[in-house]
């Protein structure tokens, strides 16, 4: 049966007297005001954090997007195991808002607000207007939390937007029996996959839900299979177009190696036992001070399982939540920003819980309905208040230290500015470390496609080959500047890591370069020596050296 007939969450509105109708209008207005206030607070927090420095993933997408705007395709000067959709999105956003840190984060605000709007429409279509408002408000808050690094424009934000759009179109396609809309839905899910590989799990959700709806509606197997084929055809369109474009510009081989071969090795390094331990450690951190919203969502999951009037929605919500959780799991790394992929499901379940709680309160107990609204308002306000220091008070440099520690993200800005002032546009540079944001800030091309060095240190069969190729590319290009990042988080070298490139770097720099800069990083702050190192200064445990090619 279709998901959008008059339902129990709004059926009683058909049988209310004028006094009850006034209560309903006042209550509806109150919920809209709560939603509006939440959206204003969240947007203001994002605006205040616009100037936060780019972290590594953002630096990768920004540099690749910068290259795209110059007509240089992905995987040519910047190797990446991620599909190119997010980098292309960065290029689009930078062409609109400017290729600066502020421009990128302005683009993230737009992406987030559009996603909030889509969740509202999805919640309203599934349940009711009140549920849609509650879900959208909940998503606005939990998609801002620093515990999931949500202030950074990670690929997960870009996966969520087309996945939610595709889900909304899919529901309407099934209710209207429209094959064109099923095809359009598949294209949107294909875009989600193109943003990053975990988008595949939203594609699987679409396939599974298509079959489950067909079974519940007693659709013939042949017709159900045809709908799935149309859906999958839509999914392949963005991927096929992308592959053809990459093949046409001569980088398909690199694309295949990095996103399929190497990505497969990367995703198989963590055992299931270690993955469970990592998940147990990281889940409480991902929930953080937003625990009231997650708690409401948990009660919503229980409600949709036990409440008969919600059973038609339970299949959708539980299936969507299940595949959203799976999207967090690839590789069993469970990094904080991966949890952004499950936030839409959490928000929809929270919206369902709020709407169901309001529906159980009879019209004769209007004050209790406002109590529910106040409790939900508290759930929204608590994480914003608990993190107010980060969102509204700390200077940006301190806010950056709160979430990024001693990672050299703020330092990368000065390094990039220094290199840009001391070089010409035709000069190349090389960064020995995983700090691709330096290429973006310096506006100089990399002498090597290896903008990360993590893969070179991993216990995987391509590591030695990668090191040799990176060394060869740098020696061939002989870049004007070479940046040596002596920060463990930029390498993640283990006891089993191949150390060849580190030995090579020392010898190569001694023979061909002179030191012109030192950046010492510690918990007390950062010291910059960009006019030469004073005789009494020695490098700290975490430091960055800047070398210039000898005349």
Q: Are residues 75 and 143 in the same domain?
A: yes
Q: Are strands 542-549 and 481-486 parallel, antiparallel or unpaired?
A: antiparallel
Tokens of 399: 């806010």
Q: Are strands 481-486 and 428-432 parallel, antiparallel or unpaired?
A: parallel
What pLDDT was estimated at residue 11?
A: 41
Number of helices (H) and strands (E) in the chain: give both, helices first: 23, 6
Residue 32 within any structural domain of the chain: no
CA distances from 409 to 53, 107, 455 (A): 6, 20, 20
Residue 4 within any structural domain of the chain: no
Q: Are residues 421 and 351 in the same domain?
A: no
Q: Identify the domain containing residue 541 by its residue range.
A: 405-549
Residue 6 within any structural domain of the chain: no
Tokens of 267: 């995703």
Which of 366, 393, 420 terminates a domain? The answer is 393
Residue by residue, DSSP assigns 80-143 as -SS-THHHHHHHHHHHHH-SSHHHHHHHHHHHHHHHHHHHHHHHHHHT-HHHHHHHHHHHHHHT
Residue 185 within any structural domain of the chain: yes
Measured CA to CA, the distance from residue 547 to residue 483 in angstroms comes to 6
Q: Give burial (CB, 10 Å; 0-12/13-18/19+) of 534.
A: exposed
Q: Are residues 143 and 192 in the same domain?
A: yes
What pLDDT was estimated at residue 19?
A: 63
Residue segments in the chain with a per-residue pLDDT below the cut of 50 = 1, 4-15
Which of 393, 421, 453 terminates a domain? The answer is 393
Tally of domains within the chain: 2
What pLDDT was estimated at residue 28?
A: 85
Q: Are residues 212 and 126 in the same domain?
A: yes
Which of 343, 363, 393 terminates a domain? The answer is 393
- CB within 8 A of 186, min separation 6: which ones? 166, 206, 230, 231, 232, 233, 234, 235, 236, 237
Q: Are residues 94 and 180 in the same domain?
A: yes
Q: Are residues 58 and 185 in the same domain?
A: yes
What pLDDT was estimated at residue 386?
A: 96
Residue 29 within any structural domain of the chain: no
Residue 484 has a CB neighbour count (10 Å cut-off) of: 20
Q: Are residues 143 and 187 in the same domain?
A: yes
DSSP state of 99: S
What pLDDT was estimated at residue 149?
A: 95
What pLDDT was estimated at residue 292?
A: 97
What pLDDT was estimated at residue 307?
A: 75
Residue 252 within any structural domain of the chain: yes
Q: Are residues 386 and 291 in the same domain?
A: yes
What pLDDT was estimated at residue 365?
A: 62
Q: Is 241 left (phi over 0), alpha (psi -120 to 50) or beta?
A: alpha
Residue 327 within any structural domain of the chain: yes
Phi/psi of residue 363, nearest 5 degrees? -65, -20
Measured CA to CA, the distance from residue 316 to residue 488 in angstroms comes to 44
Residue 399 within any structural domain of the chain: no
Q: Are residues 246 and 177 in the same domain?
A: yes
What is the sign, positive or negative, of the torsion defined by CA atoms of 61, 67, 72, 77?
negative
DSSP alpha helices (H): ranges in 478-547? 500-512
What pLDDT was estimated at residue 9?
A: 47
Q: Are residues 326 and 229 in the same domain?
A: yes
Measured CA to CA, the distance from residue 24 to residue 354 in angstroms comes to 15
Q: Are residues 19 and 114 in the same domain?
A: yes
Measured CA to CA, the distance from residue 27 to residue 130 in angstroms comes to 10
Q: Are residues 131 and 235 in the same domain?
A: yes
Q: Are 111 and 157 in contact (CB under 8 A)?
A: yes
What pLDDT was estimated at residue 7?
A: 47
């Amino acid at each position: 049966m279709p998901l959008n007939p008059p339902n129990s969450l709004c059926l009683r509105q058909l049988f209310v007297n004028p006094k009850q109708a006034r209560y309903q209008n006042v209550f509806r207005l109150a919920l809209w005001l709560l939603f509006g206030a939440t959206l204003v607070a969240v947007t203001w927090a994002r605006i205040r954090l616009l100037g936060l420095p780019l972290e590594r993933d953002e630096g990768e997408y920004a540099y690749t997007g910068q290259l795209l705007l110059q007509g240089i395709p992905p995987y040519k000067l910047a190797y990446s195991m991620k599909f190119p959709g997010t980098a292309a999105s960065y290029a689009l956003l930078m062409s609109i808002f400017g290729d600066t840190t502020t421009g990128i984060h302005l683009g993230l605000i737009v992406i987030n607000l559009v996603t909030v709007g889509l969740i509202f429409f999805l919640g309203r279509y599934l349940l009711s207007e009140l549920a849609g408002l509650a879900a959208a408000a909940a998503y606005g808050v939990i998609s801002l939390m620093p515990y999931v690094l949500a202030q950074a424009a990670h690929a997960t934000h870009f996966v969520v937007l087309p996945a939610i759009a595709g889900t909304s179109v899919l529901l309407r396609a099934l209710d209207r029996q429209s094959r064109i809309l099923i095809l359009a839905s598949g294209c949107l899910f294909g875009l989600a996959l193109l943003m990053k590989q975990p988008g595949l799990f939203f594609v699987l959700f679409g396939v599974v839900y298509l079959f489950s709806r067909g079974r519940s509606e007693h659709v013939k197997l042949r017709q159900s299979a045809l709908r799935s084929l149309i859906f999958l055809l839509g999914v392949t369109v963005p991927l096929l177009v992308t592959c053809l474009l990459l093949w046409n510009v001569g980088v398909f081989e690199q694309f295949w190696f990095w996103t399929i071969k190497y990505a497969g090795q990367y995703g198989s390094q963590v055992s299931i036992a270690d993955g469970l331990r990592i998940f147990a450690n990281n889940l409480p951190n991902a929930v953080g001070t937003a625990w009231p919203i997650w708690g409401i969502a948990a009660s919503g999951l229980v409600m949709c399982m036990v409440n008969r009037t919600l059973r038609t929605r339970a299949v959708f919500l539980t299936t969507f939540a299940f595949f959203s959780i799976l999207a967090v799991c690839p590789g069993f790394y469970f990094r904080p920003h991966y949890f952004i992929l499950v936030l839409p499901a959490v928000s929809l379940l929270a919206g369902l819980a709020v709407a169901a709680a309001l529906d159980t309160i009879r019209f004769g107990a209007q004050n209790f309905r406002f109590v529910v609204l106040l409790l939900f308002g508290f759930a929204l306000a608590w994480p914003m208040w608990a993190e107010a220091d980060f969102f509204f008070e700390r200077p940006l440099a301190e806010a950056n230290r709160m979430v990024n520690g001693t990672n050299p993200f703020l330092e990368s800005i000065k390094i990039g500015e220094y290199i840009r002032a001391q070089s010409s546009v035709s000069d190349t540079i090389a960064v020995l470390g995983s700090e691709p944001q330096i290429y973006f800030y310096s506006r100089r091309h990399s002498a090597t496609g290896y903008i990360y060095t993590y893969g070179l240190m991993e216990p995987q069969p391509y590591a030695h080959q990668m090191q040799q190729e990176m060394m060869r590319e740098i020696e061939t290009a002989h870049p004007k500047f070479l940046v040596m990042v002596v920060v463990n988080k930029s390498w993640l070298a283990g006891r089993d890591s191949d150390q060849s490139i580190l030995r090579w770097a020392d010898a190569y720099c001694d023979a061909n370069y002179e030191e012109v800069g030192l950046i010492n990083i510690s918990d007390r702050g950062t010291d910059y020596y960009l006019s030469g190192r004073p005789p009494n200064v020695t490098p700290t445990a975490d430091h960055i050296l800047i070398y210039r090619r000898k005349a």
